[in-house]
């Protein structure tokens, strides 16, 4: 078994007095994404910024999150390159938070989470619907193959080692299974 994978899963860190595991050393793109956006307030903050809520007080009011936790999350998102902090007032100092390209690239992740929630956790129907501005119809996002443009699901693909795979990669994991 890869000792690096084991050690990364067992490295405790403390965030806001709560112990969590760090995935920083794990050779996995999902784990690396969770390192940045895996804390549950984080995706709600990103959702609100996508919806046009850019100011600290507005985000705090909409989410009901404590100011100190919101400050920590926003600082983490800025430090991670997801948001950029832009001043809009000098006295008192106030900032807007805007998505960077890296932040906008989280839209498919947020959309998949919203669509899953609409299906499995919204018994009265979706609380928000997305309308495609070009055709003015409600849109559901569908994954398609980047080569042939056919819709794809988990049974239509297979995982193979990529250029950044850890030594042994998937072959090693499958052999242990």
Domain count, the chain: 3
User: Residue 20 in 3-state DSSP?
Assistant: strand
Local confidence pLDDT in tens for the 177 residues of the chain: 333 332 333 334 444 555 556 766 666 767 777 777 667 899 999 999 999 999 999 999 999 999 999 999 999 999 999 999 999 998 998 999 999 999 999 999 999 999 989 988 989 999 999 999 999 999 998 999 999 999 999 999 998 888 888 887 776 555 555
pLDDT at 32: 73
pLDDT at 49: 96
> DSSP secondary-structure letter at 105?
T
Q: Are 39 and 77 in contact (CB under 8 A)?
A: no
Helix or strand run (H / E) with residue 60: helix 56-63
Q: Are residue 70 and residue 27 in the same domain, yes or no? A: no
CB atoms within 10 A of CB 8: 19
**Domain ranges, residue 125:** 106-160+168-177
pLDDT at 103: 96
Structure tokens at 88: 């809009």
Length of the chain: 177
Q: Are residue 77 and residue 98 in the same domain, yes or no? A: yes
User: Which of 74, 105, 136 lies at the terminal end of a domain, its last residue?
Assistant: 105
How many Å apart are CA 20 and CA 164, to the nearest integer? 26
Q: Are residue 110 and residue 89 in the same domain, yes or no? A: no
How many Å apart are CA 146 and CA 152, to the nearest integer? 10
Residue 2 to residues 27, 93, 119, Cα–Cα distance (Å): 11, 48, 37
> DSSP secondary-structure letter at 135?
T
How many Å apart are CA 119 and CA 73, to the nearest integer? 28
Task: Please give the model's pTM, rounded to 2 decimal places.
Answer: 0.76
pLDDT at 165: 82
């Amino acid at each position: 078994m890869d000792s690096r994978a084991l050690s990364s899963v067992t490295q405790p860190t403390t965030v806001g007095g709560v112990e969590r595991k760090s995935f920083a050393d794990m050779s996995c793109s999902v784990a690396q994404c969770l390192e940045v956006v895996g804390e549950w307030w984080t995706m709600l903050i990103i959702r609100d910024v996508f919806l046009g809520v850019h100011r600290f007080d507005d985000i705090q009011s909409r989410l009901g999150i404590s100011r100190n936790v919101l400050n920590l999350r926003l600082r983490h998102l800025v430090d991670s390159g997801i948001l950029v902090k832009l001043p809009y007032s000098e006295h008192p100092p106030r900032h807007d938070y805007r998505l960077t390209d890296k932040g906008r690239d989280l839209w498919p992740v947020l959309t998949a989470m919203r669509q899953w929630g609409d299906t499995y956790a919204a018994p009265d129907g979706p609380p928000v619907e997305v309308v495609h501005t070009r055709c003015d119809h409600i849109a559901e996002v569908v994954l398609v193959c980047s080569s042939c443009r056919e819709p794809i699901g988990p049974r239509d693909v297979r995982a193979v080692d990529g250029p950044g795979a850890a030594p042994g990669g998937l072959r090693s994991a499958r052999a242990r299974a």
